[in-house]
Structure 1
Amino acid sequence: MTLIDLADYGPDFIANPFPYYAKLRETGPVHQLKGPDGKGAWLVVGYEEGRGALTDPRLTKSSAAVGKEQMDAMFGPHVLALDPPDHTRLRKLVAPEFTARRVEHLRPRIQRITDELLDAMLPAGRGDLVDGLAFPLPIIVICELLGVPLADRDVFRSWSNEIVAPTSPARAHESLAALCAYLDELIEAKRSGESADDLLSTLLRARAEDGDRLSLDELRGWAYVLLIAGHETSVNLISNAVRSLLAHPVQLAEVRADFGLLDGAIEETLRYEGPVETSTMRFTREPVPFGDTVIPAGEMVLVGLASADRDPARFPDPDTFDIRRSTTPGRSQSHLAFGHGVHFCLGAPLARLEARIALRSLLERCPDLALDPDAGPYEWLPGLLIRGVRRLPLRW
């Protein structure tokens, strides 16, 4: 099999990977990427194969299970790197806090935060949507939910950016170490301080029906996952949705005329320009076939969510942005933007709610919203994990 070196595609791949994914899908559902030391991860690019990989018990989330080092092992056990029954146990202790009904109770607070951010942003007449709304909204929500001081959000943003879209392995490791130390101090302060009603404090006290509770290492792991995954998906969902709607002005006008179409626009953004380009890592416990290719045991596997959600075998006319796709007979198919199976994103209801409130409020208050013509080209986030831009300069 020919090794694929994504670096050969140049910066055009980062800006628009979809034509490259289409060519890969034409030649097979899985391809081996060339890494810095020769052979790298295997990338699954087809929808059916990707959906299957997300639930295949022959693929483990635990790198330790196949004798490999875990980059973020310093945070302790967390759900992104565990399989059932360990994954089931940890998720069960936290999942009640993120049900659709529980998240809906956050709506008034999310609306107030959105209104305050827009009040501060809009008088200038132009600005960066990421800095003004898409980043601060979800980070304020998750920090308030967890009990993290908002004063620390700027340094947290720098750590998070390096973790999900690293500029170098060394800086990614430094950011992981800094965040780990920060969370240790935060958890210790909550453990030794007065009782509070934030999520971290609740989890410190929480016990399951059988008396099970989180260890400090497990609590740190949950804090890490919730802080990183709890805001990065929403940041880029909001900014990607605005980019997609501005690029399709007829459909933008339809949403403005009927906000009942907004949910469809959000779901289509998740499929067409989702915030997570590839899944987090999995490893083959044994040889696993994908079509005519067999991935050997002990290999890293990535599911190309962005590629799968543009697979014409699953989605008719997949490169067309269609806000009515989810309600059109014969066209509605489940996207994989939030994953599938037991690792389906716990924060999906929160991400959808934040996007719904942010987009409606922005469109209602900015009838002349447009890209800033003086802004220059987009600066795309590097790497294969997160799909989005560092800045989205707009005028209104």
Structure 2
Amino acid sequence: MSHTAQADVLSQPFGEEFRTDPYAVYARLRAAGSVHRVALPDGAPVWLVTHEADVRRGLADARLSVDKRHSGTGFKGFSLPPALDANLLNLDAEDHLRLRRLVSRGFTPRHVEGLRARVQEAVDGLAGRLERRIGADGSADLLAEFATPLPLKVIGDLLAVPEPERGRFSGWVATMLAPPGRAELAAAIGEIHRYLVGLVAARRADPGEDVFSGLIAARDEDDRLSEDELVSLAFLILMAGSENVQHLIGGGLLTLLNHPGQLAALRADPGLMPAAVEELLRHSHPNHTAIRRFATEPVEIGGVRIPAGDTVLFALASAHRDPARYAGPDRFDIARADQGHLALGHGLHHCLGAALARTQITLALTTLLHRFPGLRLAAPAGDLRWTTTFRFHALRELPVTA
């Protein structure tokens, strides 16, 4: 029989234990049931879904909307100005598909394959920079020298963002995702907004063959998207296309260094890298949860009745460690027979840039392992610093030596 949990006393799982070992907390929640009424660190009530089968079904359930107009009193996500909020992560059905069709041509597998040589060129250039820094200083931060600038260069080229400005954008996004306080969050969002409005004006004045120029043409000539939708799409492409890839490269390399047997197998047979990337997406993805959903009507998930308007968070990190779905789910195994995962979304909101992300991670890790046969950590693993929130778990730096 379905039931609704009491909302007056909420579980608070995202405390110090979670920051120390989030997977242990998810394991305990899974054992107690799939769906939990919990409080986020700011006190906002949400329903947290932990079982893989329920997460998979829920991500494809049209009754669970990403549109904030369906939200009640729970967590709504970032409070963004309209010019940054009208993106694919906040739109359902027809509007989502309309915008997705406009931008998808720049991210099809065929188009991404055509970019492969340019991505490899960027990888090689940054690997050279990393090598020079290690040679000069004895060690280097792989995130700062390699993993962070790579996706910024690739996505920046797609949108024709001037190269000197890409680092500033990355800094604003990092502040937005893990702000020291409300003032810093508001300042970062304001800077991002102003920057993208200026970028639109610059591309209008001097259009090119880039994806962004094509979107501007669709706005100005065909009126197929609004001005807010245009700026919001640029925001989403730059943010999602840079943050996730940089953390997957850094976290992925750390996972490999912590599993020397798997690393040796990859060095012996680079053809195993695509399978390794899929296992890294399952095992070491930085995002703990998918984009929040809002119930448009009462919905039952895992035997729990969720009222209309309530916020639902699907715990990807928990789903990917669910023993009901994966054998030995905590084990990192590049030869795993079942490599299905939800790291790049499922259903309507499957990641638009999935092919480009896979290409960057594959080429980056393959090149690093080939070019640096003695690559290793330059600090004890226990001393590495992480940013851990209910949203994501990501390295702050990754000191390495060769």
Asked if Structure 1 and Structure 2 have the same fold, meaning a TM-score greater than 0.5 normalized by the shorter chain, the answer is yes
The residue aligned with 1:196 is 208
User: Of the candidates 73, 92, 95, which is equivalent to residue 86 of structure 1?
Assistant: 95
Instruction: State yes or no: 1:336 paired with 2:342.
Output: yes
Deviation at 1:333, TM superposition (A): 4.6
Q: State the secondary structure of the residue aligned to 1:394.
A: strand
Distance 1:66 1:40, change over 3 A: closer
1:64 aligns with 2:69: yes
Residue equivalent to 1:390: 396
Q: 1:291 to 1:76 in 2, by over 3 A?
A: closer
Matches within 5 A, 1:17-56: 17-35=22-40, 38-56=43-61
Give CA-to-partner distance per residue, 1:294-317, whole Å, 9 cap, x none.
Answer: 122211111111110111111111
Secondary structure of the residue aligned to 1:279 is: coil
For 1:260, the equivalent position in structure 2 comes to 271
Structure 1, unpaired ranges of 5+: none
Distance 1:163 1:385 in 2: 12
Cα deviation for residue 207 of structure 1 reads 7.6
Q: Secondary structure at the residue paired with 1:335?
A: coil
Residue 289 (structure 1) aligned with residue 289 (structure 2): no
2:188 pairs with 1:175? yes
In the alignment, is the contact (CA less than 8 A) between 1:118 and 1:133 conserved in 2? yes
CA deviation after TM superposition for structure 1 residue 39, in Å: 4.8
> Structure 2 counterpart of 1:349, which letter?
A
Cα 1:374–1:306 shift into 2, 3 Å:
closer
Tell whether the 8 Å contact from 1:280 to 1:385 is kept in structure 2 after alignment.
Answer: no
Q: Which blocks of at least 5 consecutive residues in structure 2 are unaligned?
A: none
Paired residue secondary structure (1:206): helix
Q: Distance in 1 between matches of 2:207 and 2:117?
A: 25
* 1:139 and 1:231 in contact (8 A); partners too: yes
| 1:85-108 CA-partner distances (Å, limit 9, x unpaired) | 111111111111101110111111
Q: Give the fraction of aligned pairs with identical amino acids, expressed as a percent.
A: 42
Distance 2:171 2:30 in 1: 35
TM-score (norm: length of structure 2): 0.91
- Out of 160, 165, 178, the residue aligned to residue 165 of structure 1 is 178
**Secondary structure of the corresponding residue to residue 43 of structure 1:** strand
Note the alpha carbon deviations across 1:281-328, whole angstroms, 9 max, x for none.
111112222223212221111111111011111111101000011xx2
SS at match of 1:22: helix
TM-score, normalised to structure 1, is 0.93
Pairs within 5 Å for 1:219-368: 219-325=230-336, 328=337, 332-368=338-374
In the alignment, the residues of structure 1 paired with residue 196 and residue 223 of structure 2 have an alpha-carbon distance, to the nearest angstrom, of 22
For the 8 Å contact 1:166–1:382, the answer to whether it is kept is no
Partner of 2:160: 147
Measured in 1, the distance between the counterparts of 2:142 and 2:151 equals: 13
What SS does structure 1 have at the residue aligned with 2:388?
coil
Over aligned residue pairs, what C-alpha RMSD do you find? 2.0
User: Which of 12, 17, 21 is matched with 1:5 structurally?
Assistant: 12
Give SS of 1:6's match: coil
Which residue of the other structure, out of 126, 132, 136, is the alignment partner of 1:117? 126
8 Å contact kept, 2:387–2:393: yes
3-state SS of paired residue (2:386): coil
Cα distance in 2 between the residues matched to 1:139 and 1:103: 16
Residues 242-271 of structure 1, C-alpha deviations (whole Å, 9 max, x = no match)? 011111001100000001111111110100
The number of equivalent residue pairs is 387
| C-alpha separation in 1, matches of 2:32 and 2:13 | 16
C-alpha separation in 1, matches of 2:359 and 2:166: 21
Equivalent-residue separation in structure 2 for 1:212 and 1:362 (angstroms): 45
Contact 2:72 2:311 in 1 (8 A): no
CA distance in 2, matches of 1:159, 1:248: 33
